[in-house]
Amino acid sequence: MADATTSFRIKGATGDWEVVIGLEVHAQVTSNAKLFSGAATAFGAEPNTQVSLVDAAMPGMLPVPNRECIRQAVRTGMAIDAQINKWSRFDRKNYFYADLPQGYQISQLYHPLVGEGAIEIEADGYTKTIGVERIHVEQDAGKLMHDQHPTRSYVDLNRSGVALMEIVSCPDMRSPAEAGAYLTKLRSILRYVGSCDGNMDQGSMRADVNVSVRKPGEEFGTRTETKNVNSIRFVMAAIEHEAGRQVDVLESGGTIVQETRLFNPDTGTTRSMRSKEDAHDYRYFPDPDLLPLELDDAFLAECLASLPELPDTKRKRYEAAGITPYNAAVLTAEVESARWFDALLEAGAKPVAAANWVTSELFGALNRLGKSIGDSPVTPGQAAELLALVADGTLSGSLAKQVFEAMLETGDAPGKIVEERGLKQTSDTGAIEAVIAEVLAKNPGQLEQYRGGKVALFGFFVGQTMKAMGGKANPGVVNDLLKKALG
349 and 273 share a domain? no
How many domains does the structure of the chain reveal?
3
Judge if pTM exceeds 0.95.
no
28 and 161 share a domain? yes
200 and 323 share a domain? no
Domain assignment present for 177: yes
Q: What distance in Å separates the CA atoms of residue 475 and residue 455, rounded to the nearest whole number?
A: 18
192 and 251 share a domain? yes
| Integer CA distances (angstroms), 425 to 286, 342, 399, 407, in order | 74, 29, 8, 18
Range of the domain at 406: 309-421
Domain assignment present for 1: no
CB neighbour list of residue 473: distance below 8 Å, 6 or more residues apart: 396, 425, 426, 427, 432, 435, 465, 466
Domain assignment present for 3: no
334 and 457 share a domain? no
Task: Render the burial of 404-424: b for 16+ CB within 10 Å, e for the rest.
Answer: bebbbeeeebbeebbeeeebe
Domain assignment present for 4: no
Q: What does the angle CA 370 – CA 376 – CA 379 come to, to the nearest 5 degrees?
A: 165
127 and 252 share a domain? yes
Q: pLDDT digits over 151-162, tens only?
A: 899 999 999 999
33 and 134 share a domain? yes
pLDDT score of 428: 61
CATH code where residue 469 lies: 1.10.10.410
Q: Which of 283, 204, 287, 22 is nearest to 131 (CA)?
A: 22
125 and 271 share a domain? yes
Higher pLDDT, 76 or 452: 76
What is the arithmetic mean of pLDDT over 165-177?
A: 97
Confidence band for 470, pLDDT divided at 50, 70 and 90? confident
Task: State the Rg of the chain over Cα.
Answer: 30
pLDDT score of 426: 65
Q: State yes or no: pLDDT of 3 exceeds 50.
A: no
208 and 78 share a domain? yes
Domain assignment present for 478: yes
**Looking at 302, 324, 357, which one is the last position of a domain?**
302
What is the arithmetic mean of pLDDT over 298-307?
A: 98
Domain assignment present for 393: yes
**Looking at 302, 324, 356, which one is the last position of a domain?**
302
Domain assignment present for 82: yes
What is the arithmetic mean of pLDDT over 239-243?
A: 96
339 and 452 share a domain? no
**Looking at 302, 322, 351, which one is the last position of a domain?**
302
195 and 342 share a domain? no
Q: pLDDT digits over 449-469, tens only?
A: 888 888 888 888 888 887 887
Domain assignment present for 17: yes
Task: Render the burial of 80-113: b for 16+ CB within 10 Å, e for the rest.
Answer: bebebbeebbbbbbeeeeebbbbebbbbbbebbb
pLDDT score of 343: 98
Q: pLDDT digits over 358-372, tens only?
A: 999 999 999 999 999
283 and 393 share a domain? no
